[in-house]
């Protein structure tokens, strides 16, 4: 049985989603979103601007980020010194993002308009995100 802690006798709560599985699933999700952003940059840029212009859509995205944050933090919430620190960092960043999207959708729209001005910037951000997804997959498969 896999548990939340390295010492299974101190924490008898079973953990059904392992850190490796969570990172691989998150990487797949990132790839599903970012590959079209690289291949169809102009359309992705237009769709993102339209979506971020609607406050209700921004708030819904914030809610999804909060669910993702709680999923990550339920798997591993401690800041340890090892590679496990990736999980709570992603979780807390998703939590902060979700709160900002829910509480300040106008700020999110302004930030989106600022960063989404150029197709080159959108393509570069998508490419960097895809590299992060590949890195997380490597960590999940070979380090954890």
- 8-32 pLDDT, tens digit each: 445 555 567 888 999 999 999 999 9
Angle between helix 55-75 and helix 86-103 axes, rounded to 10 deg: 160
Q: How much is the CA Rg of the chain, to the nearest whole Å?
A: 17
- 82-113 pLDDT, tens digit each: 878 999 999 999 999 999 999 999 999 999 98
- pTM for the model stands at 0.82
Query: What pLDDT does 105 receive?
Result: 96
Give the closest residue to 23 by CA, choosing from 59, 68, 66, 56. 68
The full set of domain ranges for the chain reads 19-143
Instruction: Name beta bridge partners: 3.
Output: 14
- 29-56 pLDDT, tens digit each: 999 999 999 999 999 999 999 999 999 9
């Amino acid at each position: 049985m896999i548990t939340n802690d390295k010492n299974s006798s101190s924490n008898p709560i079973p953990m059904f989603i392992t850190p490796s599985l969570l990172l691989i699933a998150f990487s797949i999700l990132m790839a599903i979103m970012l590959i079209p952003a690289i291949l169809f940059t102009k359309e992705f840029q237009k769709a993102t601007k339209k979506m971020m212009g609607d406050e209700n859509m921004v708030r819904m995205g914030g809610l999804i980020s909060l669910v993702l944050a709680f999923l990550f933090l339920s798997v591993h919430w401690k800041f340890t010194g090892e590679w496990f620190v990736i999980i709570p960092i992603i979780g807390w960043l998703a939590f902060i993002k979700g709160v900002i999207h829910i509480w300040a959708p106008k700020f999110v729209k302004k930030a989106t308009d600022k960063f989404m001005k150029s197709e080159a910037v959108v393509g570069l951000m998508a490419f960097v995100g895809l590299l992060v997804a590949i890195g997380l997959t490597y960590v999940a498969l070979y380090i954890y």
